[in-house]
Homo-oligomer: A and B are copies of this chain.
Amino acid sequence: MTHNNPPFPSADHDHKNCVSHALKNAEAYCQQQGLRLTKLRHQVLELIWANHQPVGAYELLDQLTHEGRKAAPPTVYRALDFLMENGLVHRISSRNAYVGCSNAGHEHTAQFLICESCGQVAELDNAQIGSVIAKGANQLGFTVAQWTLEISGTCDQCKHRSQDE
């Protein structure tokens, strides 16, 4: 069986599939919510997914330019703002980079596993982590609005790969 929210994708997976799946999801979600997933926004989202690891704004800008679009920093940042506001993209603030959301549509605060070796990121949605955090904060009278958890380390595949050497 396939995992419902696969952690790190295997090296040999069909990545075009990931991208098109994410895009279809996003299209449906925006349709349903009356959001305007314009050509630019669609293009940026596609690039983000195509990179399939956290990608910087200026890197996206380059890629947009190579695809023939006239773009300047605000072009990218505005698209990113839209995508983030609507939960289609997350920002990894420890890296100044952006990544597609694996659980778009259902309200969540994400947690990220960031592999220092291969650069890939897995998005968790571990309810237990969320509830422990909420509990810890509430004990101090703190009302949580949002939070980000960014975990660096080594993913399973990279661990095995390094053992083979």
Contact = CB atoms under 8 A, between A and B. Distances in A.
Interface of A: 7-8, 93-94, 111, 113, 115-116, 122, 124, 126, 128-129, 132-133, 136-137, 140-156, 159
Contact of A140 (B113, B144, B147, B152): B113
A76 to B, nearest CB: 19
Contacts of A143: 153-154, 159
B153 A140 contact: no
A143 B133 CA distance: 21
Contacts of A94: 93, 148
A128 B156 CA distance: 24
Contacts of A146: 151-153
B142 A113 contact: yes
B145 A148 contact: no
A147 B152 contact: yes
B151 A150 contact: no
B124 A128 contact: no
Nearest to A96: B93
| Chain B CB within 10 A, most for which of A116, A140, A159 | A140
Top 10 closest A-B pairs, CB basis?
Answer: A141-B156, A147-B151, A145-B153, A7-B140, A144-B153, A143-B154, A126-B136, A93-B94, A93-B93, A143-B153
Given A7-B142, A113-B142, A133 B151 contact: yes
A115 to B, nearest CB: 8
Contacts of A151: 133, 137, 142, 144, 146-147
B136 A128 contact: yes
